[in-house]
Amino acid sequence: MAYVALYRKYRPRNFDEIVGQEAIVRTLKNQVKSGKIGHAYLFCGMRGTGKTSTARVLAKALNCEHGPTDTPCNKCKNCIAINEGSMMDVIEMDAASNRGIDDIRALRERVNFPPSEGRYRVYIIDEVHMLTTEAFNALLKTLEEPPRHVVFILATTEPNRLPATILSRCMRFDFKRVQAREMLPHLKRITEENGVDAEERALLLVARNSQGSMRDALSLLDKALSFGGNRLTFEDALSLFGAVGDDLLMEIARAAKSRNPGRILDVIEEVVNTGKDLVRFADDLMVLYRNMLMVSVGANRELVDVTDEEYGRLEALAKIYSTEEILNSLDLLKKAAGDVRWASQPRTVLEAAMVKLAMPELWTGDAGEAAKVKVLEQRVEELERRLKELLESPALSVQEEKKRAKKDENLAKVKENGGEKGNMAGEPLRDEVEEKSVEEEDMKDGPEKPEKLGEEAARLEGKPEVSEGAPGEEVRQSPGGGKRKKDGTLEELKTKWRDVLEELEKSGKMALVNVMKECRVEPCDMKNGALFLSFEGFEGHKTLIEMQKKLIEEGIKSVTGLEVVIKGLKKNEVAASKDEDVSDEEFIRSAVELFGEDLVEIEDE
């Protein structure tokens, strides 16, 4: 005999073989037993949850020679005929291909004939949502006044596409997703019957990958069996799906919480070495965090499709995380999963994301509202305090002012540290660049490129993003009034500038130093500890330098001991005039020269 796919071979033949729909099965059985049969049923649910199978079993239950019974015999003439699809009184109709009003009219004409062999004429209309509006209306007439010997069973995956009138006339049963743990015994039985020695974990993986569809589960099992021969191991199943074991994923979640990026990178190494798909890996990790989230907010147990044992482990994991942390991690993973898909170096992107996962302060400082708010709160408090003092004693001695200035400075430093961390995470960098000009994107470092995709989103999101750069900027201004440095320091700095550059070079910032040299970046002005540097060259270089001004500040500090804040870069007069001050006339003239008069159109803005 030709090979029959598992899902066809193991179609449920009676109510008890229907997996994962206890409530529905129980209700239908009771109805058959007590003889209170509805005249129209609507079976809704995802593919592979047993709608059509249940409909057939019900048809058998009603028409079995020994019935009506809740346990159709599957032996009598009628049962066999239904199993073979040759029973006259059980009409299966595929509404997807017979969706017109004529099909329904034809059905209505035949509806009134009494059953020829069985007790009931059963109409099973599959994919009923595909009917046209007219066909629905025609069907409704029949549903409203059906002859006594007729039972309609409508099956659909999309009940919300049915008109309300149809919905209310039918007894509706919602088939739920089959949970992995409900599938497991069934899968076990099938493998045993087929003489295959299968590991339970492997079967569980199959069940999990079916996403609640029994049919999918059996197809996958089919595939797995042809893959592994007479044995089905967990490793086989994993490699079949390109998936990573749950242990590894949980390991990552634990390592992330215990701030151990090294361990995570090891895991990634392992994943890559075994040739697993990183996209899949990122998605799976997201699923894990999503499950943790569900556990953490106490959602229905059913929403987390895992075995009880795993659920316990999830609960343990969810306990060490706060809901807030999980949400943040999910946000990060969401971004990472998207980036991994498109990156030319998925591994690098993933690793970067994983390190961030393990060191939340790298990014929550900016992405997390809490940290940002904290800084702002501090500042507001400080401002309020000062305002109050100012109101209480308008005349302040110089000394007091100085003292306060010093305090401000400390505060500012704290904030700057925060900003710095942000820089390392890449995000605020991006925003700063964003503010300057989009064209400068090319200048950015390699690993950040994948983030470009996100930039448009960031830009469209508008205000909140734009303002993000602002706090740091303001912080730098705040000590403005406080520092009292003599102008002599500028001279000192100028003479020691070479040393500063060397210092930077030594600490491995060759690229920066080169750019600085190229652009003749030198101290040119200094007021109250705010340093201005001269600069000539391209905008892109300017941004590059601005991005790294922290490093320069540190360099200055370690060489001269001066604490300065780089306020900005001033363009050298000569360079600037070359670059920018091209008048419109000149511009137009050169355009005409270049393209010829015919091609240049002058539009007033």
Partner 1 sequence: MGELYLFYGQEKLLIMEAIEKIKNKYVPEAYEAMDFQRLDGEEITYDDIVNVSRVVPMLAEKRVVAVLNAAFLEEGRKSAAKSESSENRFVEFLENTPPYLCLIFSAEKVDRRKKIFKVIQQKGFVKEFAPLSFKDKVRWIESRSLKYGKSIEPSAAAFMAQFTSDLYHVDGEIKKAVAYVHEKNKIEKKDLERIMSRSTEANIFGLIDSIAEGKVSHAINILNDLMYAGEKSLVILFMISRYFMNLFAIKVNEGRTFSELQKGLNLHPYALKKMLLQAKNFTVQQVRDILSLCQKFDLDLKRGRIEEKKGLEMLILKISRVMKN
What is the C-alpha separation between 418 and 424, in angstroms, rounded? 10
Among 5, 9, 16, 23, binds partner 1 (CB under 8 A): 23
Task: Based on the shown chain and the rule CB under 8 A, indicate whether residue 164 belongs to the binding site for partner 1.
Answer: yes
Spell out, one character per residue from 279 to 318, where the chain touches partner 1: x when CB under 8 A holds, - when not: -------x---x--xx--xxxx--x---------------
Buried-exposed string 190-215: b where 16+ CB fall within 10 A, e elsewhere? bbeeeebebbebbbbbbbbbbebbbb
Spell out, one character per residue from 102 to 141, where the chain touches partner 1: x when CB under 8 A holds, - when not: ---------------------------------------x
- Least Å distance, CB 277 to partner 1, is 17
C-alpha to C-alpha distances, 272 to 240, 276, 422, nearest whole angstrom: 16, 6, 29
Q: Which is nearer to partner 1, 330 or 592 (CB)?
A: 330
Task: Based on the shown chain and the rule CB under 8 A, indicate whether residue 596 belongs to the binding site for partner 1.
Answer: no
- Least Å distance, CB 78 to partner 1, is 23
Among 16, 27, 511, 518, binds partner 1 (CB under 8 A): 27
Closest to 204 in 3D by CA, of 176, 243, 230: 243
Residues contacting partner 1: total by CB under 8 A = 51
- Least Å distance, CB 352 to partner 1, is 17
Task: Based on the shown chain and the rule CB under 8 A, indicate whether residue 338 belongs to the binding site for partner 1.
Answer: yes
Q: CB neighbours of 360 closer than 8 A, spacing ≥ 6?
A: 325, 328, 329, 368
For the beta carbon of residue 289, count every other beta carbon within 10 angstroms. 29
Closest to 276 in 3D by CA, of 305, 250, 254, 248: 248
Among 9, 26, 75, 459, binds partner 1 (CB under 8 A): 26
Q: Which is nearer to partner 1, 133 or 300 (CB)?
A: 300
Task: Based on the shown chain and the rule CB under 8 A, indicate whether residue 31 belongs to the binding site for partner 1.
Answer: yes
Q: What tokens were used for 490?
A: 């500028």
Task: Based on the shown chain and the rule CB under 8 A, indicate whether residue 167 belongs to the binding site for partner 1.
Answer: yes
C-alpha to C-alpha distances, 375 to 148, 371, 372, 467, nearest whole angstrom: 75, 7, 5, 15
Strand partners, 156: 44
Q: Which is nearer to partner 1, 151 or 190 (CB)?
A: 151
Among 47, 108, 334, 403, binds partner 1 (CB under 8 A): 334
Among 77, 161, 259, 385, binds partner 1 (CB under 8 A): 161
Cβ contact 87:63 at 8 Å: yes
Among 85, 109, 116, 145, binds partner 1 (CB under 8 A): 145
Q: Which is nearer to partner 1, 52 or 423 (CB)?
A: 52
Q: Locate tokens 């803005």: which residue?
A: 605
What is the 3-state secondary structure of 205-243? Answer: HHHHHCCCCHHHHHHHHHHHHHHHCCEECHHHHHHHHCC
What is the C-alpha separation between 332 and 358, in angstroms, rounded? 11
Stretch that binds partner 1, among 90-98, 415-423, 459-467, 486-494 (CB under 8 A): 459-467
- Least Å distance, CB 447 to partner 1, is 19
H or E stretch including 125?
A: strand 121-126
Query: What is residue 442's DSSP assignment?
Result: G
Q: Determine the distance from the C-alpha atom of residue 500 to the mean position of all C-alpha atoms in its chain, rounded to a whole number.
A: 45
- Least Å distance, CB 367 to partner 1, is 12
**Site of interaction with partner 1 (CB under 8 A):** 23-24, 26-28, 30-31, 34, 36, 38, 44, 46, 141, 145, 157-161, 164, 167-174, 176-177, 286, 290, 293-294, 297-300, 303, 323-324, 327, 330-331, 334-335, 338, 457, 460-461, 464
